[in-house]
Structure 1
């Protein structure tokens, strides 16, 4: 599920014709997931 989040966002942004680099998506998603997992413990 976590690994599907970035491609889904990329697809949705692609449908809206907004250009976002995949690197930017990964750099924004990965810290969010890691921090959420750390605070959940």
Structure 2
């Protein structure tokens, strides 16, 4: 939530990229569980 970041962090030369990370879809969650259950 970029609106919660301190304005000082968004000044030029600080954080130059904002990344949006959405929740995984149902299919992606299933893939994650399959990979994790192999161990």
Give the TM-score range, shorter chain: 0.3 to 0.5
Return the structure number with greater helix share: 1
TM-score (norm 2): 0.36
Q: Which has the larger radius of gyration?
A: 2
Greater RCO structure (CA 8 Å; 6+ sep): 1
TM-score (norm 1): 0.35
